[in-house]
Every structure is written in structure tokens, then in C-alpha cells.
Amino acid sequence: MTMYSNISTTAALIGDATRTGILMALADGKALTAGELAHIASVSPQTASSHLNKLMEGGLIKVEVQGRHRYFKLSGPEVARAIEAIAIASPPLKVRSLRQSSEKKALEYARTCYGHLAGKLGVATTDALIACGYFRDIGDVYQLTDRGQEWLIDFGVQPFLPKKIDFNAIPQHLDWTERRHHIGGPLALAITRRLHDLGWIEDGPIRRSIKLTRVGRACMQDEFGIDTDQL
């Protein structure tokens, strides 16, 4: 049916293993060079360039030029959500090596999704914010409560927020490893940046993975009541 040809075109772009790897690498919202993406996808620079051109033509990524350098990033958060949705519908990954097992565990524990916290830690943090009375689940979105707005100021999140944000419609993201929702959008990004700023979390050894610091483990327990040893 030709009326769905645009969907099949996009699906074909995502369906290639190399292009999927490139899109997943960009799913944390950061911009990367063609060389970095070639290394991540384990392909030659020429092959990566061909795939990047196809993804740009399909509107899934865009390029930013700074001086002599070209940086590639997803065209928007909706692309990251689409990739995660496909991951949710896909069968479990078959682990074939110790390295794959380590990477899988690291990404399942905590990672970034277009810049905000996801994985076990992301879902646990969302649950804790609701339990503390800062957020309210109102169906398809979350709502920030009056108590939550006070917490944003006390916790130091305000400086990381954009000027305009709808506190009554905070996006819900279905976590592709946990199969449960966590908060998304600008507010989730601001909270994640604050956790980085405090030194509670840091980038892990695997791309997109997040590690809790020793200080962070204790503080997540004190601030949110999260027993990180149980995650």
C-alpha cells in the first residue's frame, strides 16, 4: 500500500545493522563525528559515510558543522523513542561472549536516553520521585506537584531547566530494558545533569552507560530512599 511507503522507507533505514548501531550510539543526544561513529559501528570511514548519508536523506539524523569538523546527531528525540520502541518489541539479545554480557549488564543498570537517565536506575529514580510526592502519574504523562516544584529549587535543578516547560505534561518513556516507564523530556534531562554536577553519577566505560559513584550510592539512599545494591 503506497500510503505507507514512508513508513517502510524509514523501517528499511533502521533495519540495517550498521545504521541501527549508529542510531543507538547517538541515542544519548550527543553529537559524534563520522570517525567516531565508524569506530563504534566497527566499519570503515567510507562505509560509515555511506550510511550517514542515507540516514540524513531519510531525516533520521542531521549534521552540524563547526570549523573543519562535522558532527552528527539524531534529528530529534522522537527518533530515539522510535529506536527504543523497536528495541522493546525485539526478542532478548543472545549474549555470546563475556564482553557482550558485561556491556548488556552495564546498559541495563543505568544509561542515558537522549541525555536523561534510563535503565534500572532511571526507573528506580522515577519511582522514588513519585513516592516522595514530587511527581504524580496521571496516565499518559507525569505531573510535577507543588511539593515537587519546591524540591527542584532545593535540589538545585532549576538552573538546568529551559525557560519554558510544561510541568503538567512531563513525558513518559517506556524503558526498553525494564519494560516500565521513566520520566523523559527536558525535566528528566535537567535532573540527570544535576546528578552529574553533584558527582553522584558519571559516564561509564561503555558508551551511553552511567555509573554511580561511591558518594552517589550513599546520597541516592539519603535523598530518594533508593537502595542501589538492590537494583
Cα R_g (the chain), whole angstroms: 19
- Give the whole-angstrom CA distance, residue 12 versus residue 57: 13
**Where residue 136 falls among pLDDT bands split at 50, 70, 90?**
very high
What is the per-residue pLDDT for 98?
84
Predicted TM-score (pTM) of the model is: 0.84
**pLDDT tens digits, residue range 142-160?**
999 999 999 999 999 999 9
- Asked if pLDDT for residue 2 goes beyond 80, the answer is no
pLDDT at 5 (0 to 100): 77
> Which grid cell is 159?
538552573
Domains, the chain, in order of start with CATH, read 2-90 (1.10.10.10), 99-230 (no CATH)
pLDDT, tens digit (0-9, with 9 covering 90-100), for 10-30: 999 999 999 999 999 998 888
pLDDT per residue over 59-88, tens digit each?
A: 999 999 988 899 999 999 889 888 888 888
Nearest to 173 by CA among 98, 94, 117: 117
